[in-house]
């Protein structure tokens, strides 16, 4: 029987132009070429609206879909065969005609504290300026450190570090996975454990998107899928989906595999961190979406509906 690569000797990966996105696409390219002898993989770097709108806060600019719409157009038009995304940037509802063909093994899912002057969040003085692009991170940190001044931090990883180094912030918080993938792990002063800053749904995992009718591509990339990571991410995304999740909501969800079970923690917060609803539950590894929906029900029971109602209007 022919291998997928024999019927598809060349494929094109659509990718954003940032160094992290290019690293991720190159990583998948190398893994595919190593797994399928004779396969040639090319990259199609593209600029997205999310990359161009660097000053607006992401939830106010239009959300996570800003980073992938142009890539999906390239898939639809046949200029590319697949696209590689950070799963935390992928909207929970996929557009008609597209699917996630594989979710690969997760990198470090934690948030990372980066500063040139301070070793930990505990060392930051009152009114210190902390930069983050995430309402989720800001809300959780504000709950524990209400005297810090939170400021929006946009741009790619290098741009954010440059702003820190230029003195615009006393410290910043980024995803550990991105720093490690770019060889910048040495900039991390401290890791924020999930108990301190619960990660975003899908954080640290990569997803491979293609058209639903591309059975050849689906078969090709299936060899890169990591079932454990996929189950965790599916549970996390189910929480967000059940609560109408988007980047305008300070919502976090993080799952771990424990034998034949999944353990899931989730939260919803007010933007200022003064109100937070939390939930923890476990369920069968084979039914991650059901577990995510159960966690969402627990969050509602703990006041998530009222919290979400208070932030339903942007800027409120």
Helix, strand, coil shares, percent, the chain, to 5: 40, 25, 35
How long a stretch of residues is the chain?
A: 316
Place of tokens 């060349």: 10
Rounded Cα distance between 72 and 41, Å, is 18
Q: Which residues are catalytic?
A: 89
Given a contact cutoff of 8 angstroms between Cβ atoms, the answer to whether 234 and 113 are in contact is no
Q: Give the closest residue to 201 by CA, choosing from 160, 157, 245, 261.
A: 245
Distances, alpha carbon 99 to alpha carbons 24, 84, 94, 95, 96, in Å:
18, 12, 6, 8, 8
Q: Give the closest residue to 301 by CA, choosing from 315, 282, 281.
A: 281
Residue 93's φ and ψ, nearest 5 degrees, are: -105, 120
Rounded Cα distance between 306 and 295, Å, is 16
């Amino acid at each position: 029987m022919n291998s997928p690569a024999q019927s598809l000797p060349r494929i094109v990966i659509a990718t954003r132009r940032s160094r992290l996105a290019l690293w991720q696409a190159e990583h998948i390219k190398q893994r595919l070429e190593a797994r399928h002898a004779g396969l040639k993989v090319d990259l199609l770097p593209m600029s997205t609206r999310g990359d161009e709108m660097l000053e607006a806060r992401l939830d106010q600019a239009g959300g996570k879909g800003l980073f992938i719409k142009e890539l999906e157009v390239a898939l639809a038009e046949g200029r590319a065969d697949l696209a590689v995304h950070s799963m935390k940037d992928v909207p929970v509802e996929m557009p008609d005609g597209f699917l996630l063909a594989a979710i690969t093994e997760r990198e470090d899912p934690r948030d990372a504290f980066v500063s040139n002057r301070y070793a930990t969040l505990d060392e930051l003085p009152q009114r210190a300026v902390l930069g983050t692009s995430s309402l989720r991170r800001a809300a959780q940190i504000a709950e524990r450190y209400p005297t810090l001044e939170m400021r929006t931090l946009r741009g790619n990883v290098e741009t954010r570090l440059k702003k820190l180094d230029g003195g615009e912030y006393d410290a910043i918080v980024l995803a550990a996975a991105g720093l490690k993938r770019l060889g910048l792990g040495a900039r991390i002063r401290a890791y924020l454990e999930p108990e301190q800053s619960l990660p975003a749904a899908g954080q640290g995992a990569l997803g491979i998107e293609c058209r639903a009718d591309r059975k050849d591509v689906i078969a090709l990339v299936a060899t890169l899928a990591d079932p454990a990571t996929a189950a965790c991410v599916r549970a996390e995304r189910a929480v967000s989906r059940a609560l109408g999740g988007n980047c305008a909501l300070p919502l976090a969800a993080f799952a771990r595999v424990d034998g034949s079970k999944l353990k899931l923690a989730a939260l919803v917060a007010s933007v200022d961190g003064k109100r937070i609803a939390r939930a923890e539950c476990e369920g069968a590894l084979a039914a991650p979406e059901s577990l995510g929906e159960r966690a969402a029900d627990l969050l509602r029971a703990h006041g998530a509906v009222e919290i979400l109602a208070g932030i339903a209007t942007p800027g409120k």
